[in-house]
Amino acid sequence: MQNNNALKKSITFIEAMAIVVGMIIGSGIFLKPGIVLSNAGTPTMSILAWVVGGVITLASALSVAEIAAAIPKSGGLYTYLGDLYGGVYGYLLGWVQAVIAYPASVAALAIAFATYSSFFLPMNDIQQKLLAVAILVFILIMNAISTKYGGMIQTIATVGKLIPVVGIIAVGLLSDLAPGFSGIQPSVSGAGFGVAILGTLWAYDGWIGVTNMAGEMKNPAKTLPKVISIGVIFVIIVYVLFNIAIFQVLPYEAIVSSKTPGADAAEALFGNGGGAFITAGIIVSVLGALNGYLMTAARVPQAMGEKGQIPFSQTLSKIHPKFQTPANALIFQSVLAIIYIFSGTFNTLTDLLVFVLWIFFTMGVFGVFILRKKVPAEKGRYRVPLYPITPIIGVVGGLYILVSTIISDPIRSFVGIGITLVGLPIYGYMNKKK
């Protein structure tokens, strides 16, 4: 008899790669260069910050990929932490992701889509929010009908978003509009290299999302490590080249004072139509990120529902009998996202939880050491290269992020922990019901 709760293994290597690249490259590549440069102080240190941020991300990704290869289940880091550390740790991450982090991110991206769309079609605040809901509902329907449709949207959006990026890189690197590294003199001293790295890590965020889809991949033990490592390395190269191109096009003052340095660089390179070109690219980029986040977000409450760890577990764990997708979990995440769209508090919620999420990310990277003690090695199964150096880099980088956040914003850090711990009474209640 067919298991109605079995997710269809329909995600190919190309689609998984599109999820990784599509979720990492959102709006950060277009918005962060100025912030990172102002904190780093010089173009050279700015580029170094992007490289260091990428290395921390890559080391973490390669380490988690080994866990994903050994535990190829849907639910991603939530599942891995539960298996390696105990159920309560996986549950707390799942709680954070399912109730606030993922739906708030989806809401923020839907709002960003509507905001950038107003460049072409002027809208007031209410109209923008209605458009945000409309695009979210469209993405929901596509993913509820078929994971394949969601994968196709992701692939198309990923290709589309790379067009303006590649255009700026290709033309910008050959440009001599600005004097480049040697001629750009900072007008103010940078706030600090550490702050600059933190800025890049925000732009690199999203790589963990593809692990949520492991249970729907064809041959996940081989596919997942490949797409994570290749995808992150590709993004690092793109980010570094993009920033170098901008330094060739715009002077220091123009970069650090602009909220949209990518659009400014495009206008300088391609004329008045450049801003519109880049804005269209950002819209496509945000659409891809929105699709990727909603696509992966649903797998967390679905996995928690299977374990009976969340209210309405039976409903949330169900797989649609016809479409073979986690339709109920998709609807659940979308409803929460719509609430956040109209609440106006999603940015605050997301900021609060960045610190907490990095606690779990660091635990996930350290989990490689636990994995190797618990799970015997299998011939042919992916193992993190340069062990133990690679996971150590990931752990040290994660700890650096946590300490820096506590020092720079202790109140918000501890509030974030408090919100997370609210999930403990629910965890206890759900366990008693079993």
- Residue 299 identity (one-letter amino acid): R
Q: Residue 229 is encoded by which pair of tokens? A: 């490592």
* C-beta pairs of 232-236 under 8 Å, 24+ apart in sequence: 232/20, 232/24, 232/54, 232/57, 232/58, 232/61, 232/204, 232/207, 233/58, 234/21, 235/21, 235/24, 235/25, 235/54, 235/204, 236/50, 236/51, 236/54, 236/55, 236/57, 236/58
Greater pLDDT, 394 or 30? 394
Please give the pLDDT value at position 409.
74
What does R_g of the chain's alpha carbons equal in angstroms?
21
d(CA 159, CA 232) in angstroms, rounded, equals 16
* pLDDT score recorded for residue 51: 94
At 393 the pLDDT is: 95
pLDDT above 50: residue 2: no
Q: For residue 78, count other CB atoms closer than 10 A to its CB.
A: 31
Note the pLDDT tens digit of each residue in 86-138: 889 988 988 888 888 888 888 888 888 888 888 888 899 899 999 999 999 99
Q: Look up residue 360 and give its amino acid.
A: F
Residue 41 φ then ψ, to 5°:
100, -40
Are 132 and 140 within 8 A, CB to CB?
no
Is pLDDT above 90 for 202?
A: no
pLDDT, position 381: 79
Q: Which two tokens mark 70?
A: 């050994």
Distance (Å, whole) CA 74 – CA 70: 12
Over range 220-227, report the average pLDDT: 77
State the pTM of this model. 0.77
Please tell me the distance from the alpha carbon of residue 429 to that of residue 318, in angstroms, as a whole number.
21
Q: Which domains does the chain have, with CATH numbers?
A: 13-433 (1.20.1740.10)
The per-residue pLDDT for range 335-351, each reduced to its tens digit, is 999 998 888 655 565 56
Query: Who has greater pLDDT, 70 or 151?
Result: 70
State which of 59-63, 258-262, 367-371 shows the largest mean pLDDT. Answer: 367-371
CA pair distance 38, 114, nearest whole angstrom: 28
- Name the DSSP class of 6: P
pLDDT at 8 over 90: no
Question: How much is the pLDDT for 174?
Answer: 82
| 430, pLDDT greater than 80 | yes
- List b or e across 123-142, with b for residues whose CB sees 16 or more CB atoms inside 10 angstroms: eeeeebbebbbebbeebbeb
Peptide bond into 425 cis (omega under 30): no
Averaged confidence pLDDT in the chain: 81
Residue percentage of the chain with pLDDT more than 70: 87
3-class secondary-structure state, position 217: strand
Average pLDDT on 381-403 reads: 89
Q: Quote the CA–CA distance of 106 and 112 in Å, as a whole number.
A: 10
CB-CB contact of 334 with 381 (8 Å): no
How confident is the model over 194-205, as a mean pLDDT?
81
Q: What is the pLDDT of residue 178?
A: 64
User: How far apart are the C-alpha atoms of 233 and 308, rounded to whole Å?
Assistant: 37
pLDDT at 187: 45
Looking at residue 3, what is its pLDDT? 42
361-382 mean pLDDT: 88
Closest CA to 153 of 282, 281, 291, 25: 291
Asked whether residue 237 carries a pLDDT value surpassing 90, the answer given is yes
Burial class (CB in 10 A: 0-12, 13-18, 19+), 420: buried
Given a contact cutoff of 8 angstroms between Cβ atoms, the answer to whether 193 and 6 are in contact is no
> How is residue 97 annotated by DSSP?
I
Q: Between 434 and 421, where is the model more confident? A: 421
**How many residues in total does the chain contain?**
434
pLDDT at residue 254, as a whole number = 87
Report the SS3 class of residue 25. coil
pLDDT score of 1? 37
Q: Which two tokens stand for residue 206?
A: 């999203």
pLDDT-derived band at 59 (thresholds 50, 70, 90) equals very high
pLDDT at 211: 65
Share above pLDDT 90 across residues of the chain, in percent, rounded to a whole number = 17
**Per-residue model confidence as pLDDT tens digits over 158-198:** 777 778 888 888 888 887 776 656 555 554 444 477 778 87
CB 291 within 8 A of CB 302: no
Q: In the beta sheet, which residues pair with residue 383? A: none
pLDDT per position as a tens digit, 260-311: 788 788 888 888 787 788 888 888 888 888 888 888 788 888 888 887 878 8
For 61-78, the pLDDT digits (tens) are: 889 888 888 887 766 787
Per-residue confidence (pLDDT) for residue 210, from 0 to 100? 65
